[in-house]
C-alpha cells in the first residue's frame, strides 16, 4: 500500500566539520533505488580515494524496506549505524549519506566517533534540505477556450495545483488534487463552468509540497 506522504532529502547537500583535527565531509543525496545509492557511494569513494574512511548508510523505499550501513574500517558500529540512525530519526526515505573522514592523528574513541559521524550526517542532511512528498490525484479538465482564463484565475486561490495544460481543439488542463478530494473538485469545476466542463481522474503521483528543516 502506498504511503499518502513521506519525507526525503530535497537533493544533493554537502557539509564539512572538523573534530580533533579529523575532517568529516558529509555528502547526501536522494536515491530511489539501491543501485542509485551504490552508484553515489562509488562516486564518493573515487573522489576521496585517499581518505581514511568513506562510511555510509542509506534507506530506500517508501516503506524503508532497504536499509544498509557500512563502517568502512572504523570500529564496528561507530560510523555506519550512527549515520543510519540519523536518517531513521528524521523519518527519511530514499536517502543516502556518505561521511568521508581524513584522520587528523587524534583518536576519538568509540563514543567520540559515534557523535562525530552522527553530527556530520545531521549537518549534511540540513545542507541538502528536506521535503515532503505527498501522493496526489491527477484530475483532467477538458473545456472550451473561453473558460480557460476563469479557471486559471480561480486555481491560483484554490487548494489545487496546476500540473500542465494542453492546447488542443479544446483546452485540457491537468490539476493535482489531494487524494479523497476528487468529488469536491468535480463539484468545484462544475460550479465554476456552469456545468460546461467535467473533471476526470487521470492517475496519481507524488508531489513535493513543502520543505522541512
CATH number at residue 102: 3.30.230.30
Whether residues 111 and 150 share a domain: the answer is: no
3-class SS string, 123-141? HHHHHHCEEEEEEEEEEEE
Tell me: do 112 and 15 sit in the same domain: yes
- Bridge partner list, 28: 13, 97
Note whether 187 and 146 are same-domain residues: yes
Asked whether the CA dihedral 25, 31, 36, 38 is positive or negative, the reply is: positive
- Could you tell me if 150 and 102 lie in one domain? no
In Å, what is the CA distance from 71 to each residue of 19, 61, 154?
Answer: 18, 22, 54
What are the cell numbers at 111? 563514543
1-29 pLDDT, tens digit each = 778 899 999 999 999 999 999 999 999 99
Digit-coded pLDDT (tens) for 159-187:
999 999 999 999 999 999 998 899 999 99
Which CATH number covers residue 202?
A: 3.30.70.240
| Residues 121 and 156 reside in one and the same domain | no
Res. 148: pLDDT tops 50: yes
pLDDT per residue over 24-81, tens digit each? 999 999 999 999 999 999 999 999 999 999 999 999 998 899 999 999 999 999 999 9
**pLDDT for residue 198:** 86
Structural domain that includes position 50: 5-128
Residue after which a domain boundary falls, among 91, 107, 128 = 128
Please report the beta strands in 103-197, taking only residues with DSSP state E, as ranges in sequence order.
130-143, 161-167, 171-178
Residue 212's pLDDT is 56
Distance of CA 91 to the CA centre of its chain: 11
Examine the domain organization and report whether 91 and 123 are in the same domain: yes
CB 41 within 8 A of CB 54: yes
Is there a single domain that holds both residue 47 and residue 105?
yes
193 and 121 together in one domain: no
Does the pLDDT of residue 213 top 70, yes or no?
no
My answer on whether 36 and 101 are in the same domain is yes
Query: Residue 85 in 3-state DSSP?
Result: helix
Domain termination site, one of 128, 159, 192: 128
Task: Judge if 61 and 39 occupy the same domain.
Answer: yes
Counted domains in the chain: 2
Q: Which residue has the cell 583535527?
A: 21
The last residue of a domain, from among 112, 128, 144: 128
pLDDT at residue 195 greater than cutoff 80: yes
Q: Determine contact, residues 78/99, Cβ cutoff 8 Å.
A: no
Amino acid at each position: 500500500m502506498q504511503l499518502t506522504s513521506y519525507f526525503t532529502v530535497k537533493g544533493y547537500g554537502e557539509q564539512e566539520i572538523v573534530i580533533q583535527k579529523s575532517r568529516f565531509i558529509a555528502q547526501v543525496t536522494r536515491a530511489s533505488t539501491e543501485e542509485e545509492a551504490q552508484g553515489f557511494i562509488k562516486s564518493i569513494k573515487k573522489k576521496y580515494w585517499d581518505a581514511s574512511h568513506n562510511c555510509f548508510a542509506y534507506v530506500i523505499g517508501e516503506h524503508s524496506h532497504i536499509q544498509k550501513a557500512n563502517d568502512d574500517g572504523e570500529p564496528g558500529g561507530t560510523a555506519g549505524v550512527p549515520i543510519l540512525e540519523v536518517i531513521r530519526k528524521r523519518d527519511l526515505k530514499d536517502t543516502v549519506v556518505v561521511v568521508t573522514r581524513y584522520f587528523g592523528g587524534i583518536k576519538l574513541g568509540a563514543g567520540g566517533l559515534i557523535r562525530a559521524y552522527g553530527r556530520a550526517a545531521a549537518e549534511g542532511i540540513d545542507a541538502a534540505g528536506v521535503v515532503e512528498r505527498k501522493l496526489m490525484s491527477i484530475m483532467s479538465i477538458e473545456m472550451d477556450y473561453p473558460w480557460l482564463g476563469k479557471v486559471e484565475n480561480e486555481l491560483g486561490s484554490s487548494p489545487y495545483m496546476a500540473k500542465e495544460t494542453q492546447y488542443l481543439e479544446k483546452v485540457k488542463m491537468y490539476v493535482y488534487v489531494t487524494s479523497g478530494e476528487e468529488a469536491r473538485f468535480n463539484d468545484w469545476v462544475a460550479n465554476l463552468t456552469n456545468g460546461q466542463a467535467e473533471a476526470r481522474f487521470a492517475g496519481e503521483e507524488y508531489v513535493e509540497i513543502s520543505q522541512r528543516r
